[in-house]
Structure 1
Amino acid sequence: MRVVVSTASATPIYEQIRRQVRSSILSGEVQPGQTLPSLRQLAADLRVSVITVTRAYNDLVAEGLVHSEHGRGFVVLDVEPGIASAALRARVDDTLREVVIAARQARLSLTDIHNHLDETWSKDD
């Protein structure tokens, strides 16, 4: 699991961490029973405070995606595939809304967006 944060983003860092870890869990990249990186380790890797990572992890606990085990850390729970799929689809929908807003502000046409999406899609293969 790779987490990258941006201090230039309007999204709070704890939320960036939560979203990325959540996506890794829902996509199956991080399997049920696996432990997440320790609070201190992830904080050190990202150069953020332990409090920031703690808030992100506690939000994941509140969502029912992980739980805290004494001596083990934060452990990923089993997520029903239908719920995971719906959550990932909702993330795509949210991201598309953001793209539409940004494209309109940049005065890009729908054709421009389709072309850019095709180019981006091809690069990731």
Structure 2
Amino acid sequence: MGEVTTSGLDGGAHPRPTLLYVEDHPASVSVMRSLLELRPQWRFLTAARLDAGLVLARTEHPDLVLLDMRLPDGTGSDGLAALRSDPATSGIPVVILTAGPPGGERPLLEAGAEQVWIKPHDLSLTLDFLDEIAARSA
């Protein structure tokens, strides 16, 4: 199913917001992991393949999914459609990350993506969005 990693897991009584990052490029995962050190309250889950990411979304119920547009076993569009069609995951905010040129965001937004970020995206905006999602989840 592909590599799945977790960090920031705790057995505490207070639930922590969870970010699921579905991304196959280790450097991008490393950057996000480092960025989350600035938001240590977040639990971080990663999957390098779409199939593994969908399983994690169903079982872990993350507060946010960051979904790469190009994965070894599917596209961000495929993943978004699967997440939106499953009652267990249909309400999870999804951000699609794409290296493609700007201009293709509208179909993804119409399909249910909360946002579409063009790589490389502004990391300070990522932190702001994580804060917004954490506030919604509280």
Task: Report the TM-score when normalising by structure 1.
Answer: 0.30
Larger radius of gyration: 1
More helix per residue: 1
More strand per residue: 2
